[in-house]
Structure 1
Amino acid sequence: MTQTVLPLLIFLFPLAYSPGPGNLFFAANGARFGLRATLPANAGYHVATWVVTVGIGLGFSAMLDTVPALFRWIGVFGALYVLWLALGILRAGITPDKVAARSAGWWDGAILLLLNPKAYVIIGLMFSQFLASDADHRFGLVLLIASVFTLNNLLAFLLWTIAGDRLARGFRNPAQARWLTLAIGGVLALVGVWMLRNGLVG
């Protein structure tokens, strides 16, 4: 078990903790609404992460190989969804009243994972490295890898959310807080545009 978990964590560290659509989305929501309000979306994202990871580990990736256009469409719809989320964050920054702004919910988190092509690439690459073709007890190994991947990702998202929350606390002035939210929402929008360009051109 240690022979799999430790190399897997080393492999995942730069992928999980670097800026990406998920990390920036939760950092923005943490800055706007605080850590506690992001927990339902975080739960939705990571329940979906575990289910999708197990599915890919047990053969879902074969469907992506058979229908390569499916991956491209996932990327396009994922980019559009990230842009839609960024628009909501930007609107929250413009709106001074927190009642008018809504924090992300369970389904927002789940959909964000399902439409995140970066997640599929990482999961596929991870299994190509850590799931040997002749491995005994493959089902148990898939469950172990999926669980380690999900928990590590959850920790990364919580750290990014806390960072957003702490950053926002330094902007106690409402006007400053709105500018911070607009800045983070703008960065997330740029990520969405980059994802859309890759999905359409790549």
Structure 2
Amino acid sequence: MSETLALLVFLLPLAYSPGPGNMVFAANGARFGLAATLPASAGYHLATWLVTAGIGLGLVGIVAQAPGAARAMQLVGAAYVLWLAVRIASSGAMAGGPEARPLGAGGGALLLLVNPKAYLIIALMFSQFLPGEGSVAAVLWIATVFTLNNLLAFTAWTVAGECLARLFLSGREGRWLNVGFGLTLGAVAVWMLLA
């Protein structure tokens, strides 16, 4: 129990700080509301659990053998987040047109798969909280705690985005909110390239 509490304390600033996932979910919450983000959240967090368990079980070593794999993932991830940023910033007012759609389950999963911050956090987490070789049960427990903690963080960011959108109900104010989210997410994409 004390190990789980220590893990949660370790994850608190990492999961709740602005990053690619949190910003995308805040923007989708502002634009479409919490209920509409549930498919993206399900895709993201299923991918989170699978990737975390895979890393904990040693599969990351196979990927690490591929030269340039980490840099390629960093570039693809930054490009995807930048694409999302442009899409959000140029989406217009909150009421939007019929072409506006929330991120789906596949987009949510892709967001995790190309998010270098997630891989770094997972690697740090296992280096600190998986003793020695670690058992399969310990890996799966850590993966589950990590995923549920992220789910809570993303839900909080989504609800915060939805609440913020209520303050910006007019077309012009909603447009500025989307531009703000887009610029913030664009800055995250640049950070991903430089990290």
For this structure pair, what is the TM-score category when the shorter chain's length is used for normalisation? over 0.9
TM-score of the two chains, using structure 2 as the length reference:
0.95
Task: Give, in angstroms, the shift of residue 92 of structure 1.
Answer: 1.4
Give the alignment of 1:182-193 within 5 angstroms. Answer: 182-193=179-190
Partner of 2:111: 112
Deviates further, 93-102 or 163-172? 93-102
Please provide the CA RMSD for this pair: 1.5
Task: Give, in angstroms, the shift of residue 68 of structure 1.
Answer: 5.1
Give the alignment of 1:151-170 within 5 angstroms. Answer: 151-170=148-167
Task: Give, in angstroms, the shift of residue 51 of structure 1.
Answer: 0.3
Task: Give, in angstroms, the shift of residue 126 of structure 1.
Answer: 0.5
Contact 1:27 1:165 in 2 (8 A): yes
Give the alignment of 1:4-43 within 5 angstroms. Answer: 4-43=3-42
1:168 is matched by which residue type in structure 2?
Answer: A
Task: Give, in angstroms, the shift of residue 196 of structure 1.
Answer: 2.2
Structure 1 runs of 4+ aligned residues shifted over 6 Å read: none
Deviates further, 57-66 or 100-109? 57-66
Partner of 2:143: 146
Q: Distance in 2 between matches of 1:197 and 1:127?
A: 24
Task: Give, in angstroms, the shift of residue 93 of structure 1.
Answer: 2.5
Number of residue pairs the alignment of both structures matches: 195
Task: Give, in angstroms, the shift of residue 64 of structure 1.
Answer: 4.0
Q: Distance in 2 between matches of 1:187 and 1:50?
A: 27
Contact 1:77 1:115 in 2 (8 A): yes
Contact 2:94 2:169 in 1 (8 A): no
Q: Does 1:67 align with 2:66?
A: yes
Q: Distance in 2 between matches of 1:140 and 1:43?
A: 23
Percent identity of the aligned residues?
56
TM-score of the two chains, using structure 1 as the length reference:
0.92
Q: Does 1:176 align with 2:173?
A: yes
Task: Give, in angstroms, the shift of residue 134 of structure 1.
Answer: 4.6
Contact 2:93 2:172 in 1 (8 A): no
SS of the residue aligned with 1:132? coil
1:59 is matched by which residue type in structure 2?
Answer: G
Residue of structure 1 aligned with 2:194, choices 178, 192, 197: 197
Partner of 1:78: 77
Q: Distance in 2 between matches of 1:124 and 1:142?
A: 12
Contact 1:61 1:124 in 2 (8 A): no
Deviates further, 89-98 or 76-85? 89-98
Deviates further, 63-72 or 156-165? 63-72
Gaps of 5+ in 2: none
Gaps of 5+ in 1: none
